[in-house]
Amino acid sequence: MKAKSIKGNTTEEIETALQQSMADSFKPTLAIVFLSIRQDRDAISAILDKEDIAIFGVTSCGEFIDGQVEEGSIVMLLMDIKKTDFSILIESYAGREQKDVAREMGEAALRIFNNPSFLIATSIIIPDGFPDGEATLNGLQSATGADITIWGGNAGDDRLFDHTHVFTNKQSFGKGIILLVMDADKIMMKGQAAFGWKPSGTERVITNCSNGCIHTIDNQPALDVILKFLGLKLTREEAEKFTPGSVVFCLIRDEGAPVMRSSGYFNWDDRSVFVNGHIAQGTKVRFALPPDFEIVEEVTKDAQQIRDDGFPTADALVMFSCIGRFIELGPMISTEIEGVKNTFNAPMAGFFAYGEFGRATKGKNEFHNNTCCWVALKEK
């Protein structure tokens, strides 16, 4: 497999970059496309349609190839994979349960390949609520089994928090699921979910929660527990304006690494806290401190470990990194991206997401927040 990454700030720049990439007889069959919600998806699709290139497309909160981070742009990872080795499935879940749609898509994937692996993205009209990552993941795995390889992220919209999209050739959905299905017997995929936030303080228990809202922690109002941890005393007005994105819950798992959940907003009236993802009642958690430069080094070292453990080369890299990491790490995020890219020295494309999919270290497939999920691809 040969791969190239390109970027542009306009449709015209992308069309030029695409033609330049093919000047040496490179003929891509697949484009992984991450772009700003402000860009013209239809125009980009038309350019790729003309070249008979299949599209796995997602709107984003920032885009990058290699370590070059952009906002409002278009990036692509172009690959010349055999058309018999991959397929793209896309469905709307408007008016339906995400779990049911994901299950049906998993069943369809098994009719295409006996041993599929997946890149996945989901989109949402955000005033209706964030997409249920766990429901999508559980629905897909109910068809394929839990040992399946799944990496991906929720689409973004430049932090407008209004609407996102997934799209392919001539189809685009604001409430949708897109799967890039690969024949795992032909294409190897190896990745990692890395977070780096440092757990702090004592282990606590979620004692009352519902629909992504934590009501009590250790039988105390969740808001009171968090403010005490932060050492803050807020008035109602201050609490309503406070953005607690740096407050991260480490969900303790019986097996494997913890899983991150970031907090979304405080509810002063009932003293609850909304989180970006599912938390089950009875879950053991610890709070986590914001990251420092050490986590960038850790992500690179972990990538090097995977390379040294039997995946020495890669044809291409894809990264799904949380928008929370972009906000918290600032300029260091480029160093994190470059660390993974330079480990394998392969073309890369990625975007900043509203939640990520991937296998926790020594654990199972999970829906994550504040996590960097990357995957290396290599043709066998």
Higher pLDDT, 196 or 113: 113
Of residues 1 and 211, more confidently modeled:
1
284 and 320 assigned to the same domain: no
Check whether residue 52 and residue 125 sit in a common domain. yes
Same domain, 24 and 157: yes
pLDDT grade for 306, boundaries at 50, 70 and 90: confident
66 shares its domain with 131: yes
From 289, 322, 345, give the residue that closes a domain: 289
- Tell me: do 190 and 202 sit in the same domain: no
Domains identified in the chain, total number: 2
Higher pLDDT, 144 or 279: 144
Please tell me whether residues 371 and 242 are part of one structural domain.
Answer: no
pTM of the model: 0.88
Per DSSP, the three-state class of 144 is helix
Separate counts of helices (H) and strands (E) for the chain = 9, 25
Average pLDDT, integer, range 31-43: 97
The answer on 82 and 216 residing in a single domain is no
Q: Give the pLDDT of residue 40.
A: 97
Quick one: 145 and 14 in the same domain? yes
Domain enclosing residue 258, as ranges: 198-289
Helix, strand, coil abundance in the chain, percent, nearest 5: 30, 40, 35
CA 212 to mean position of chain CA atoms? 18
pLDDT at 37: 97
Structure confidence at residue 131 (pLDDT): 62
Which of 262, 289, 316 finishes a domain? 289
Are the CB atoms for 374 and 318 separated by under 8 Å?
yes
Q: Which of 65-74, 150-159, 229-238 has the lowest mean pLDDT?
A: 229-238
Residues 189 and 269 in one domain: no
- The pLDDT of 246-273, averaged and rounded, is 81
pLDDT (0 to 100) of residue 133: 87
CB proximity list for 127: less than 8 A, separation 6 or greater: 162
User: Of the candidates 268, 289, 310, which is a domain's last residue?
Assistant: 289
- What integer best gives the mean pLDDT of the chain? 90
Q: What is the 8-class DSSP label of residue 163?
A: B
pLDDT above 70 (res 336): yes
Residue 230 has pLDDT above 70, yes or no: yes
The reported pLDDT for the residue numbered 261 is 84
Do both 178 and 210 map to the same domain? no
163 neighbors 39 (Cβ within 8 angstroms): no
* pLDDT for the residue 246: 61
- C-beta of residue 60 within 8 angstroms of C-beta of residue 154: no
Q: Verify that 218 and 182 share a domain, yes or no.
A: no
Do 89 and 157 lie in a common domain?
yes
Q: What is the mean pLDDT of residues 315-339?
A: 88
